[in-house]
Amino acid sequence: MKKIILLMFFCLLGTLGFSQAIPEKANTIVITLPDSNGVLDKVKEVFLEKDYTLKAGKGTSKVVTNPKTLKGGKTRVNLIAEIKGAEVWLSGNISIAAQDGMKIEYKGNKGTPIMDAWEELEKVAKAFGKKMKYEVK
């Protein structure tokens, strides 16, 4: 019995050791898709599913959303998806009160507008898939 519990403990430690922690002030989530076919369409589809409207543009490597108001009505975010082959580099900007154009970053306390914006960015990233990594860009 002790051996089984010990084995389970080491397995748990092993999985925790390989999961990536979010670096402080991370501002980009890189999502790796299975292949590069249809990535632009997938980006647009996910943004529309998450109730974002897209800014008009003709580019095929960058998709920008119009600002969306988050819960509480005080915070607005717009997201930017840069397509690099089979990767989507997701970042965004936050507007709080009179401050516009601040980058969304992983900082602050839960329940603050800055963390709400990060959680929104992460929620959208997870809609693409589970293979993600966090970057400070």
CA 15: distance to chain centroid? 22
pTM of the model: 0.82
pLDDT digits (tens, 9 = 90+) for 106-132: 998 988 889 999 999 999 999 998 899
If phi over 0 gives left and psi between -120 and 50 gives alpha, with beta otherwise, what is residue 41? alpha
Q: Which domains, ranges and CATH numbers included, belong to the chain?
A: 22-135 (3.30.530.50)
pLDDT digits (tens, 9 = 90+) for 51-109: 999 997 777 799 999 999 998 777 899 999 999 999 999 999 999 877 778 999 999 89
